[in-house]
Chains A and B, each alone.
Chain A
Amino acid sequence: MKFTSSLLTLFLFLCGSVASAQDGYIRAYEGTFALTNARIETITNGTIENGSLVIRDGVIEEVGATVAIPGDAEVIDCSGMTIYPGMIDGGTRLGLQEIGSLPETVDHGEIGDIRPHMQALTAVNPNSVSIPITRVSGVTTVLTSPSGGIMPGTAALINLHGYTPDQMDAGFKGVVLNFPSSARFGRFDRRTDEDIEKQFNEALERLNETWEQAVLFERIDANGGSDLYQPEMAALVPVIRREAPLLIEAHAAKDIEKALEWIEEKSIDAVLTGVREGWRVADKIAAAGVRVITGPVLTTPSRDYDRYDAAYRNAGWMHDAGVTVAIRSGEVENVRNLPFNAGFAAAYGMGREAALEAVTIVPARIFGVDERLGSIEVGKDATLFVADGDPFETKTQVVDLFIGGYRIPIESRHISLYDEFLNRNPGLER
Chain B
Amino acid sequence: MRLTLLALLLLAGSAAAQTAVDLPPAETRGDLLIRGATVLTVTNGTHENTDILVRDGKIEALGQGLSAPGGVRVVDGTGFHVMPGIIDAHSHIALSNVNEAQNTITSEVQMGDVTDPTDVGIYRALAGGVTTIHTLHGSANAVGGESETLKLRYGTFDPNALHFEGAPRTLKFALGENPTRVHGRGRDIRPRSRMGVEQLYREAFSEARRYRDAQNEAEENGTLAPPYSRRMETLADILDGEVLIHCHSYRADEIVMLMNVLRDFGVDRITFQHVNEGFKVAPELADFGAGASVFSDWWAYKFEVYYSTAYNVAILLRNGVRASINSDSGELIRHLYHEAAKSQRYGDLTDDEALSLITINPAWQLGIDDQVGSIEEGKDADLAIFDGHPLSVYARPVMTIVDGVVRFDEARDGDDMRLDVDPEEAIEDVRLYDHDEESCLVDAFVL
- List, in ascending order, chain B residues with CB within 8 A of A352's CB: 394
A348 and B319 CA atoms in complex are apart in Å by: 37
Contact of A305 among B306, B346, B415 (CB under 8 A): B415
Cβ < 8 Å to A, chain B residues 297-322: 297-303, 306-311, 314-315, 318-319
Give the Cβ gap from A427 to chain B, nearest Cβ, in Å: 5
Closest to B415 in A: A307
Interface residues of A in 153-209 (CB under 8 A from B): 182-187, 189, 193
Contact of A99 among B303, B310, B319, B432 (CB under 8 A): B303
Determine whether B4 belongs to the interface, using a CB cutoff of 8 Å to chain A: no
Q: Which of A9-17, A63-71, A213-221, A410-418 contacts B (4 or more CB under 8 A)?
A: A410-418
Instruction: Please indicate the chain A residues that have their CB under 8 angstroms from the CB of B442 in the complex.
Output: 187
A interface footprint on B99-120 (CB within 8 Å = 1, 0 otherwise): 0000000000000000000001
Scoring A residues 291 to 303 as 1 if CB is less than 8 Å from chain B, else 0, what string do you get? 0000010111111
Bitwise, A235-265 to B at CB < 8 A (1) or not (0) is 0000000000000000111100000000000
Is B338 on the interface with A (CB-CB < 8 A)? yes
> Could you tell me the distance in whole angstroms from the C-beta of B329 to the nearest C-beta in chain A?
9
Nearest CB in chain B: distance from A103 CB, A: 12
Q: How far is the CA of A33 from the CA of B106 in the complex (A)?
A: 63
Residues of chain A lying within 8 A (CB to CB) of residue B307: 413, 417
Which of A46-54, A108-116, A336-344 contacts the other chain? A336-344
Chain B residues with CB under 8 A of A182: 428, 430
Q: How many residues does chain B have at the interface if contact means C-beta atoms less than 8 Å apart?
A: 64
Q: Are A2 and B348 closer than 8 Å at their CB atoms? A: yes
- Residues of chain A contacted by B163 (CB below 8 angstroms): none
Interchain CB contact under 8 A, B279 and A417 = yes
Asked whether any CB of chain B lies closer than 8 Å to the CB of A346, the reply is: yes
Please state if A184 and B432 are interface contacts (CB–CB under 8 Å).
yes
Contacts of A224 in B (CB 8 A): none
Choose the segment among B212-220, B221-229, B281-289 that binds chain A (4+ C-beta atoms closer than 8 Å).
Answer: B281-289
The reply to whether B432 and A185 contact each other, CB–CB distance below 8 Å, is: yes
Say which residue of B299, B331, B344, B439 sits within 8 Å of A395 (CB atoms): B344
Interface of A is mostly: loop
Nearest chain A residue, comparing its CB with the CB of B421:
A305
Chain B interface mostly: loop
Which residues of chain A have C-beta atoms less than 8 A from B308's C-beta? 417
Whole-angstrom CA separation of A413 from B346 in the bound complex: 12
B116-154: contact bitstring with A at CB < 8 Å (1 yes, 0 no)? 000010011001000000000000000000000000000
Complex formed: what's the CA distance from A400 to B315 in Å? 24
Interface contact B429-A303, CB-CB below 8 Å: yes
Partner of B309, one of A185, A302, A346, A417: A417
Chain B contacts of A129 at CB under 8 A? 300, 306
Contact of B283 with A300 in the complex, beta carbons under 8 Å: no
A415 contacts B392, C-beta separation under 8 Å = no
Cβ distance A148 to chain B, nearest Cβ, rounded Å: 13
* Interface 9-mer from A76-84, A326-334, A370-378: A326-334
Q: Are B345 and A422 in contact, CB atoms less than 8 angstroms apart?
A: no
Task: List B residues at the A interface (Cβ < 8 Å).
Answer: 120, 123-124, 127, 177, 279-280, 282-284, 287, 297-303, 306-311, 314-315, 318-319, 330-331, 334-335, 338, 341-342, 344-348, 391-396, 415-418, 421, 426, 428-437, 439, 442
Q: Which 9 A-B pairs give the minimum distances between C-beta atoms?
A: A343-B393, A395-B344, A418-B311, A394-B341, A333-B300, A417-B309, A183-B430, A307-B415, A101-B302
What are 24 A-B pairs with beta-carbon distances under 8 A?
A2-B348, A100-B301, A184-B430, A184-B431, A185-B434, A186-B431, A186-B434, A251-B430, A296-B435, A298-B335, A302-B431, A304-B418, A308-B124, A308-B127, A309-B127, A333-B299, A334-B299, A396-B345, A414-B299, A414-B311, A414-B346, A418-B347, A422-B318, A424-B280
Q: Which residues of A contact B (CB under 8 A)?
A: 2-3, 98-102, 129-130, 182-187, 189, 193, 251-254, 276-277, 296, 298-309, 330-334, 336-337, 340, 343-344, 346-348, 352, 392-397, 413-415, 417-418, 421-422, 424, 427-428
Given contacts A252-B430, A418-B315, A427-B283, 10 further A-B contacts (CB under 8 A): A185-B434, A186-B431, A251-B432, A300-B124, A301-B124, A303-B431, A336-B297, A392-B394, A396-B345, A417-B279
